[in-house]
C-alpha cells in the first residue's frame, strides 16, 4: 500500500461527500456528506503523517483524532439545529428554510 492508494480513496470519499452535499434534499443526508468530506481529510492527514514524516512525528495522526472528535461534536450540534428547524418549519429540507431571503 502506497500513499497514492490512500489519496485515491480519500479523493473518492471527498467527491462522494461533495456530491451528497450538493444534490441531497434532506438535511440529514447533507450532514452525512459533510461527514464524508471530514473523514476524507482525516484520512489524508493520517496518510501524509505515515508516509511523509519521520515515524516519531505523529502530529498528523493526532490531528486526525482531533478531526474525528470535532466531527462528533459538530454532528451533535448539527442534529440539534435540525431538530429546532423541524420544530419551527415542519420540514428538514434546506430549501424550505428561506425566511431570510430578500
Partner 1 sequence: MVVPLISLILLCPLAAFAIFGLLGLAKRSFPRQDYLSTAAMLVGFVCSLLLLREVVPNPETHTVKWISLGSITFSMGFYLDSVTAIMLLVVTLVSSLVHIFSIGYMHGDPRYPRFFAFLSLFSFSMLFLVVSDNLLGIYIGWELVGLCSYLLIGFWFEKDSAANACKKAFLTTRVGDVGMFIGMMMLFTKFKTLSLYGEGGIFTLAASLNTGDMVWLSIAGVLIFCGAVGKSAQVPLHTWLPDAMEGPTPVSALIHAATMVAAGVYLTARMFPILTETSSLVIAYIGGITAIVAATIAIVRFDIKRVLAYSTVSQLGYMMLGIGVGSYVAGLFHLTTHAFFKALLFLGSGSVIHAFHAMHAHAHDDEHDHAHEDHDTHEHAHGDDDAHGHDHEHGDHDLVHAHGSEIPPDQDMRNMGGLRHKMPITFVTMLIATLSISGVPFVFSGFWSKDAILGGVLERAMEWNSVHHYLLFGMALLAAGITAFYMFRLIFMTFFGEPRNQEMHNMAHESPLSMTVPLLILAVLSFPVVNKFWFNADYVKPPEQPHLYAPQHAHVSPDSKTEGKGFALSLFGVSEAVAAEEAGHDTHVDGEHHGHSPAHDIAMVLSICVAGLGILLSWLFYHRRTLSAESVANSFRPLYNLFWHKYYFDEFYDGVLVALTVWKARLFAQFDGSVVDGIVNGVGRLTRDFLAVFVGFFDNRVVDGIVNRVAEVTWAVGGRIRRIQTGAIQTYLFVVLAGIVLLILIFRAL
The correct pick among 18, 75, 82, 85 for binding partner 1 (CB under 8 A) is 18
Cβ atoms of 71 and 38 within 8 Å: the answer is yes
Segment contacting partner 1 (CB under 8 A): 1-9, 20-28, 59-67, 83-91?
A: 20-28
* CA dihedral sign, ordered 13, 79, 60, 22: positive
Q: Which three cell numbers stand for residue 71?
A: 466531527
Based on the shown chain and the rule CB under 8 A, indicate whether residue 82 belongs to the binding site for partner 1: no
Q: In angstroms, give the least distance from the CB of 95 to partner 1.
A: 5
Q: CB-based contacts of 55: which residues, under 8 Å, 6+ apart?
A: none
Q: In angstroms, give the least distance from the CB of 46 to partner 1.
A: 23
Distance (Å, whole) CA 51 – CA 27: 36
> Would you tell me which residues interact with partner 1 (CB under 8 A)?
18, 21-23, 30, 94-95, 97-98, 100-102
Amino acid at each position: 500500500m502506497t500513499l497514492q492508494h490512500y489519496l485515491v480513496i480519500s479523493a473518492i470519499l471527498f467527491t462522494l461527500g461533495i456530491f451528497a452535499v450538493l444534490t441531497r434534499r434532506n438535511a440529514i443526508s447533507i450532514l452525512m456528506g459533510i461527514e464524508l468530506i471530514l473523514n476524507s481529510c482525516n484520512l489524508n492527514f493520517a496518510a501524509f503523517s505515515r508516509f511523509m514524516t519521520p515515524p516519531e512525528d505523529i502530529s498528523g495522526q493526532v490531528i486526525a483524532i482531533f478531526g474525528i472528535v470535532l466531527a462528533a461534536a459538530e454532528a451533535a450540534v448539527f442534529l440539534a439545529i435540525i431538530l429546532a428547524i423541524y420544530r419551527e418549519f415542519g420540514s428538514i429540507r434546506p430549501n424550505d428554510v428561506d425566511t431570510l431571503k430578500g
